[in-house]
Chains A and B, each alone.
Chain A
Amino acid sequence: MKVLRDTSILFGRSMRHILRSPDTIITVAIMPIMFMLLFVYVFGGAIQTGARNYVNYLLPGILLIAIASGIAYTAFRLFTDRQKGLFARFHSMPVARSSVLWAHVLTSLVSNAISVVVIILVALIMGFRSSAGVLAWLAVAGILVLFTLALTWLAVIPGLTAKTVEGASAFSYPLIFLPFISSAFVPTATMPTVVRAFAENQPVTSIINTVRSLLNSEPVGNEIWIALAWCVGIAIVTYFFAMRAYKQTA
């Protein structure tokens, strides 16, 4: 299959970019790790979550922050490829057009997965423990992949349309901030009404609660469906706009 062949060649190329500048992975992982250290060792003592292990409580939110900042690099890589004329080069060659984009999407999934694994390792050192079985871990992986995919398609849009590098990655700042107004660090019950209403109804909270329940072998209830609906919904909408932007890319 030509599409698969082209995608794998171009995926190899972008992965080489990542391995050659490991600072992108470190930068993506370091900020969430800092937050984790800060919240566990500085604020942690004063935060009442009801959980015995605060690292366990905090980790899901930290992972989402990592993914939200990781996809800024996806937008950045798309932006540079477009600006350097590499898209034009590939598109004027007998290369499956969709491969050029999918290679970036796969790279985004893999590089974010690496960051997530690094952060989980650090969390283990800090005392994170999970009673989850293989199935629960697979479910966690599935939700995180879906979340990364949704944000990746979102990142494709500025990556393909931005006029400046800053413009290409600025969209990720509010996303990185979103977990702070959610159940990531403190239970939403302590928040003032308006903030609480926002926190409880934004996508990040349901995803965090689901991942947290899965990792602690607790029932996920309805929350998992809300989380999935958000991820799939965002993915579909952003995919539509991303493809529209891609059609107009020379």
Chain B
Amino acid sequence: MTDIAIHVKDLRKSFKATEVLKGVDFEVRRGEIFALLGSNGAGKTTTINILSTLLKPDDGSASVCGFDVGRQSEKVRESISLTGQFAAVDGILTGRENLVLIAKLRGVADAHKTADALLSRFGLSDAAKRRADTYSGGMARRLDIAMSLVGTPAVIFLDEPTTGLDPEGRLEVWKTAKDLADRGTTILLTTQNLEEAEQLADRIAILHGGKIIASGTLDELKKLFPPAKVEYIEKQPSLEEIFLAIVGQKEASK
């Protein structure tokens, strides 16, 4: 058993004329929270979709838990769970039925018990018997994440899990992610929210212009930050400043 849960090497992907990924490399270790940071259209979702076997890369290699996403896609799917950028819940079914459905598909021994446990963990017990299309955005997102936890997959992909959530909901998701990582689940999360990456991630990679232009722990990234500003500003540079400096969008600095 290696220590590497996700291995991405020279990954390339184009959609017709648009070259989205131009050779992406990164590694995610077992049990860590890894944040893929990037602006709109950087290719975060594309990367996640390739890793979750939904898209085929044009070139390069990607493996999850040692399984190649192309050749051993069935094995990969057994090891992962995807929480896509937009909540993928069945609106006509109730919250509980959604969870039971996923549990049955995953062949979980006691689907109903699993569903009830997750409902209470995500504060959805009261809404369990309501159709999911009556849920608020935050509730749907929580249900969506709960559905991804069914069957305790080894690796979880969270594509912008807190977009559209209120601060409370965001904290809730952060807590869930941390809990999962504590229990040994590997989490690859994408975000545009720099605070989120700063709060949550053990390591961060910045995807820009089709490549990973910087990666490492927050401290390592801080070292990349030009120190000039630190001389007269007392506070440490926030990740946002680091990000903007690296990406070169200085006009947006607050």
CB distance A84 to B89 under 8 Å?
yes
Q: Which of B53, B82, B90, B93 has the most CB of A within 10 A?
A: B90
Closest Cβ–Cβ distance, residue B15 to chain A (whole Å): 12
Binds B, one of A57-65, A91-99, A122-130, A140-148: A91-99
Find the A residue at minimum CB distance from B55.
Answer: A250
CB-CB under 8 A from A92, the residues of chain B are 52-54, 77, 80-82
Contacts of B54 in A (CB 8 A): 88, 91-92, 250
Alpha-carbon distance between A91 and B54 when the two chains are bound, in angstroms: 7
Q: How large is the interface on B (under 10, 10 to 19, 20 to 34, 35 or more residues)?
A: 20 to 34
Interface string of A68-108 (1 = CB under 8 A from B): 00000000000000001110111111110000000000000
- State whether A88 touches B88 (Cβ < 8 A): yes
- Chain A interface helix/strand/loop/mixed: helix
Measured in the bound complex, the distance between the Cα atoms of B101 and A13 in whole Å is 8
B88 touches A16 (CB 8 A): no
Q: Which residues of A contact B (CB under 8 A)?
A: 6, 9-10, 13, 16-17, 20-21, 84-86, 88-95, 250
With contact pairs A16-B97, A85-B84, A93-B106 given, residues A250 and B49 touching in the complex (Cβ less than 8 Å): yes
Cβ distance B145 to chain A, nearest Cβ, rounded Å: 12
Q: A16-B97, A84-B91 are in contact. Are A95 and B53 (CB under 8 A)?
A: no
Taking A92-B82, A250-B55 as known contacts, 7 extra A-B pairs with beta carbons closer than 8 A to each other, sorted by chain A number, are A9-B105, A84-B89, A85-B84, A88-B49, A89-B88, A90-B105, A93-B106
Partner of B93, one of A6, A13, A90, A93: A13
Chain A neighbourhood of B58, CB < 8 A: none
Q: Which of A21, A84, A88, A93 lies at the interface centre, i.e. has the most chain B CB atoms within 10 A of its CB?
A: A93
* Shortest distance between the CB of A102 and any CB in chain B (Å): 14
Does B4 have its Cβ within 8 Å of any Cβ on chain A?
no
| Cβ contact of A94, chosen from B74, B84, B88, cutoff 8 A | B74
Instruction: Establish whether residues A84 and B77, one from each chain, have CB atoms under 8 Å apart when the complex forms.
Output: no
Report the separation of the CA atoms of residues A10 and B87 in the bound assembly, to the nearest whole angstrom.
Answer: 19
> Cα distance A94–B92 when bound, in Å?
23
Asked if B8 is an interface residue, CB under 8 A from chain A, the answer is no
Contacting B92 at CB < 8 Å: which of A9, A21, A91, A95?
A21
Residues of A within 8 A of B105 (CB): 6, 9-10, 90, 93-95
Residues 58-101 of chain B: 1 if any A CB is under 8 Å from the residue's CB, otherwise 0? 00000000000000001001101110101111111100010001
Q: Pick the residue among A17, A21, A86, A95 that contacts B88 (CB under 8 A).
A: A86
Residues of B within 8 A of A88 (CB): 49, 54, 82, 84, 88
Residue of B nearest to A77 (CB): B92
Answer whether residue B165 sits at the interface, using C-beta atoms and an 8 A cutoff.
no
Candidate in B90, B101, B105, B147 with the most chain A CB atoms within 10 angstroms = B105
For B54, the closest partner residue in chain A by CB is A250
Question: Is A94 in contact with B90, judged by CB distance below 8 angstroms?
Answer: no
CA A17 to CA B91, docked complex, whole Å: 10
Per the bound structure, the CA–CA distance linking A20 and B130 in Å amounts to: 13
Q: Across the interface, do B92 and A89 meet the contact criterion of CB distance under 8 Å?
A: no
Contact partners of A9 in chain B: CB under 8 A = 101, 104-105
Contacts of B181 in A (CB 8 A): none
A86 to B90, CA, bound (A): 7
Q: How far is the CB of A134 from chain B (nearest CB, A)?
A: 37
Contacts of B90 in A (CB 8 A): 13, 84, 86
- 3 smallest CB-CB distances across A and B, nearest first, come from A85-B88, A92-B82, A92-B52
Q: Which residue of B lies closest to A10 (CB)?
A: B105
| B150 and chain A: residue at smallest CB distance | A93
**B102 within 8 A of partner (CB):** yes
Chain B residues with Cβ under 8 A from A10's Cβ?
105
The distance in angstroms between the C-alpha atoms of A153 and B86, with both chains bound, is 28
CA distance A155 to B201 in the complex (A): 45
* Closest beta carbon of chain A to B86's beta carbon, Å: 6
A-B residue pairs in contact (CB < 8 Å), sample of 30: A6-B105, A10-B105, A13-B93, A13-B101, A16-B92, A16-B93, A16-B97, A20-B92, A84-B88, A84-B91, A85-B84, A85-B86, A85-B88, A88-B49, A88-B82, A89-B82, A89-B88, A91-B53, A92-B80, A92-B81, A92-B82, A93-B81, A93-B105, A94-B74, A94-B77, A94-B78, A94-B106, A250-B49, A250-B54, A250-B55
